[in-house]
């Protein structure tokens, strides 16, 4: 089966849950299955503001955001996206009121219990990254159970960032390199290069994100995937996370597909124009 055929077949799973003629249907039809991002990362921001704007407690925003998570996971799985990384809890989030932090852990456990059977049926593999040993024991148990159950799945890799910090990840990667060198007796000759760091990141084995989405309109990356997003396309929307649903994710993917990714080089049009100029200059020198 050709790559295009495989991508098209995977995308047909999305149309199974869409209504013909609806906005989501039209957007999905516009998506090019050959140019999907392999890895999407999302900074899920705005739950508190969503609740405050409705005169509700912050927990109501977090609870509403669970539906946006479900829709994002389902959409990416049906599109055939390889990986989806969600920024769920940063190392800085411990500064929030204790009751809110406890509520976040409770909602995570509720989400896993409610959605795990469906994710497993859809071939989603669930993993978590961050300084997970500092999480509450019950949360770690739920995550371990989800990871173990879905370990053999080959569809979407749902990677949840918990107690995560981009800087901490880099520190942990370098320390892992140094610790290995000490244990192997090669410390005096240890050399740290890009490949060594990349292979010791929490995301080792995953492609770097092609598309980073941030909701709530904030123009910052908040210490998220500092190494991995070096060449990611950034998409910022004013929508608050609980309002970011399937059509909005499809719009972000379509925006990604309209961009020209150059990775520091020239795009095809500029290369062609440069070649024409050089050719014309060469002809002029020959006269």
pLDDT for the residue 226: 98
What's the number of domains the chain is made of? 1
The answer as to whether 171 is a domain residue is no
Cα–Cα distance for residue pair 160/278, rounded to 1 Å: 49
Mean confidence (pLDDT) of the chain: 92
Q: What value does the mean pLDDT take over residues 164-174?
A: 98
Give the range of the structural domain holding residue 121, as residue numbers without chain letter. 3-166+204-286
Express each pLDDT in 44-101 by its tens digit: 999 999 999 999 999 999 999 999 999 999 999 999 999 999 999 999 999 999 999 9
CATH number at residue 89: 3.40.1180.10
Express each pLDDT in 9-45 by its tens digit: 778 899 999 999 999 999 999 999 999 999 999 999 9
Q: Residue ranges of the alpha helices (H) in the chain?
A: 3-15, 23-30, 47-52, 58-79, 98-121, 137-150, 166-184, 194-198, 246-258, 268-286
The answer as to whether 143 is a domain residue is yes
Express each pLDDT in 145-162 by its tens digit: 999 999 999 999 999 999
The answer as to whether 174 is a domain residue is no
Would the pTM count as exceeding 0.85?
Answer: yes
74, 93, 269, 276: which one is catalytic?
Answer: 93
The answer as to whether 199 is a domain residue is no
pLDDT for the residue 90: 98
The answer as to whether 30 is a domain residue is yes
The answer as to whether 182 is a domain residue is no
Cα–Cα distance for residue pair 57/51, rounded to 1 Å: 6
Has residue 274 got a pLDDT over 90?
Answer: no
The answer as to whether 172 is a domain residue is no
CB atoms within 10 A of CB 62: 22
Cα–Cα distance for residue pair 96/226, rounded to 1 Å: 23
The answer as to whether 190 is a domain residue is no
Residue 200 annotated among the catalytic residues of the structure:
no
Q: Is the dihedral of CA 229, 230, 235, 241 positive or negative?
A: positive
Has residue 285 got a pLDDT over 70?
Answer: no
Tokens of 244: 């970011």
5, 45, 122, 251: which one is catalytic?
Answer: 45
Residue 285 annotated among the catalytic residues of the structure:
no
Contact 164, 135 (CB under 8 A): no
């Amino acid at each position: 089966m050709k790559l295009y055929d495989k991508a098209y077949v995977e995308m047909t799973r999305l149309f199974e849950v869409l209504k013909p003629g609806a906005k989501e249907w039209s957007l999905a039809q516009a998506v090019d299955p050959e140019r999907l991002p392999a890895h999407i990362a999302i900074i899920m921001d705005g739950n508190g503001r969503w609740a405050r704007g409705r005169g509700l407690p912050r927990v109501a925003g977090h609870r509403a955001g669970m539906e946006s998570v479900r829709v994002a996971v389902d959409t990416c799985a049906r599109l055939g996206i390889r990986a989806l990384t969600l920024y769920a809890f940063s190392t800085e989030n411990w500064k929030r009121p204790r009751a809110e932090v406890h509520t976040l852990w409770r909602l995570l456990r509720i989400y896993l219990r409610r959605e795990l059977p469906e994710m497993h049926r859809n071939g989603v593999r669930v993993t978590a990254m961050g300084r997970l040993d500092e999480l509450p024991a019950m949360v770690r148990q739920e995550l371990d159970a989800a990871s173990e159950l879905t370990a053999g799945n080959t569809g979407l890799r749902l990677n949840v960032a918990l107690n995560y910090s981009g800087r901490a990840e880099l520190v942990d990667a370098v320390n892992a390199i140094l610790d290995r060198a000490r244990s192997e007796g090669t410390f005096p000759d240890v050399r740290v290069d890009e490949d060594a760091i990349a292979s010791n990141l929490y995301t080792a084995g995953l492609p770097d994100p092609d598309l980073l989405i941030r909701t709530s309109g904030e123009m910052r990356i908040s210490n998220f995937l500092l190494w991995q997003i070096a060449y990611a396309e950034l998409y910022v929307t004013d929508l608050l996370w609980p309002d970011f649903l399937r059509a909005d994710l499809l719009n972000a993917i379509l925006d990604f597909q309209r961009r020209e990714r150059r990775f520091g080089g020239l795009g095809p049009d500029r290369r062609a124009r440069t070649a024409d100029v050089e050719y014309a200059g060469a002809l002029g020198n020959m006269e």
